[in-house]
Amino acid sequence: MIDKLEYLIALARERHFGRAAEACGVTQPTLSAGIKQLEETLGVLLVQRGSRFMGFTPEGERTLEWARRIVADSRAMRQDIDALKRGLAGPLRIAAIPTALPMVAALTTPFRARHPDVRFTVISRTSIEILNHLENLEIDAGLTYLDNEPLGRVNTVPLYRERYRLVTSPQSRYGERDAVTWAEVAELQLALLTPDMQNRRIVDNLLAAAGASHKPTLESNSMIVLFTHVRTGLWASVMPAMLADSLGLTSVVRSIPIVEPDISHSIGLVVPHREPTTPITAALVAEARRIAPKLEQSGIADPAIAAMQ
C-alpha cells in the first residue's frame, strides 16, 4: 500500500506517467498497475486518463492528501526507529531561495557538528517551488520569506531580517553615496532577479511605491550572474545586505543602504506542519532556534562562523 501511495504522489509531482515511474524506479506499466490496484481497493476512480495524464478526480485529490500524510508518517516512523538504533543519520534535503543560499551554512555547519552522520543536499528554488516540494515530500525543509506571500500549512522559525542594498561600482552613479532612495535606484541600469523570484516581486513593489517606473536591462535567476555584471561597472543591482556581506562583495563593489522607505522582510526555516515530525527535522528546527539570535546580529560578515560561536 505504501508503494502505491508513493506512485500517486510521484504522479502528482511529475504530471506524467513515464516521469513518475522513472522517479519511483519502476516501469510505467508497474506504476499504472499499482495505481489501478489502489483504485480497485478504494472502489473509486483516482486519475483522469486519456492518451496522457489529465489530472485527478475529486476522489483522487482527497486520496492524494491522505497519501502525503501516510507516506510522511511512514518515513517518520522509519527514521524514528533508526535514530533509536544509531542516532541521527541519513539524508537531509533543504531548498532555499537564491538570496538565502549563503545563509544555509549558518544552519548546516553547527548542525553537522552535533550530528556528523547526517548528509545534506541543498538546492536553490523559488519560494513557490519550496512550498510545492514540501507538500510533495521532495524536501525536508526550506529557507524562504515568512511575512510577504501566503505560506500555507507549514511550521516556521524566523532567522533574520532581509534588508536591501544598492550594489554598484564605486565609480558609477551614486557609487560614492552613503544612502540612496528607491526612486534614485530606479534611475539606474539594473540587473535583477527574474520575476518568478519573490525577491524580485518585493523590489518591484518597493520601486512602484516610490512612484518610479523601471525596466531592468538584465534579468537572471542567479545571484552570481547579477554580481559579475555589477562588477563591470555598467550595471547596478539590489541585493540583501547579508548576502553582499557574506559573499565578500563589498571588497570590490559598494553596498549602499536603500532608504525612503527602509524596508525589511523576515527570512526563516519552513518545515511541514505534521505531528509527529521526523527526528532529523525536529533537530533542524531546534538548531534554527538556537542560531536565530546570532544571525539577527548586525554586521555579520560570515554567518556560518557566527553561528558556531
Decide which of 84 and 207 is more confident.
207
- Measured at the CA of 133, the angle between CA 243 and CA 241, to 5 degrees, comes to 10
In this structure, the strands spanning 90-96 and 218-220 are unpaired
The beta-strand segments (E) located in the chain are: 47-49, 53-56, 90-96, 118-124, 141-145, 154-168, 180-181, 191-193, 218-220, 237-240, 254-259, 264-272
Task: Give the separation between CA 215 and CA 194, rounded to whole angstroms.
Answer: 12
Decide which of 77 and 178 is more confident.
178
The yes-or-no verdict on residue 301 having pLDDT over 70 is no
DSSP state of 16: S
Q: Lowest mean pLDDT of 45-49, 241-245, 295-299, name the range.
A: 295-299
pLDDT attached to residue 309: 54
List CB contacts of 83: < 8 A, sequence separation 6 or more: 89, 279, 280
The yes-or-no verdict on residue 247 having pLDDT over 70 is no
Structure pTM?
A: 0.76
pLDDT attached to residue 269: 97
The yes-or-no verdict on residue 84 having pLDDT over 80 is no
**What are the pLDDT digits (tens) for 272-283?**
988 778 889 999
**What is the mean predicted confidence (pLDDT) over 32-61?**
89
Q: Which CATH superfamily is domain 87-161+265-300 in?
A: Periplasmic binding protein-like II (3.40.190.10)
Decide which of 62 and 309 is more confident.
62
One fold for 87-161+265-300 and 164-260: yes
Q: How high is the mean pLDDT of the chain?
A: 87
DSSP state of 250: G
Q: Which fold has domain 1-79?
A: Arc Repressor Mutant, subunit A (1.10.10)
**What is the mean predicted confidence (pLDDT) over 280-303?**
80
Q: How confident is the model at residue 298 (pLDDT cuts 50, 70, 90)?
A: very low
pLDDT attached to residue 250: 58
- The CATH code of the domain at 164-260 is 3.40.190.290
**What is the mean predicted confidence (pLDDT) over 234-246?**
86
Q: What burial class does residue 248 get, using C-beta atoms within 10 Å of its C-beta: 0-12 exposed, 13-18 middle, 19+ buried?
A: exposed
Q: Lowest mean pLDDT of 11-20, 173-182, 216-225, 289-298, name the range.
A: 289-298
**What is the mean predicted confidence (pLDDT) over 33-47?**
91
Domain boundaries, the chain: 1-79, 87-161+265-300, 164-260
**Any idea which residue has 495505481 for its cell?**
35
**What is the mean predicted confidence (pLDDT) over 126-155?**
91
pLDDT attached to residue 295: 83
pLDDT attached to residue 83: 74
Express as a percent the part of the chain with pLDDT over 70: 94
Task: Give the separation between CA 261 and CA 51, rounded to whole angstroms.
Answer: 54
**What are the pLDDT digits (tens) for 258-267?**
998 888 999 9
The beta-strand segments (E) located in 7-140 are: 47-49, 53-56, 90-96, 118-124
Please answer whether residues 11 and 2 qualify as being in contact, where contact means their C-beta atoms are separated by less than 8 angstroms: no
pLDDT attached to residue 200: 93
Q: What burial class does residue 38 get, using C-beta atoms within 10 Å of its C-beta: 0-12 exposed, 13-18 middle, 19+ buried?
A: buried
Q: How confident is the model at residue 249 (pLDDT cuts 50, 70, 90)?
A: low
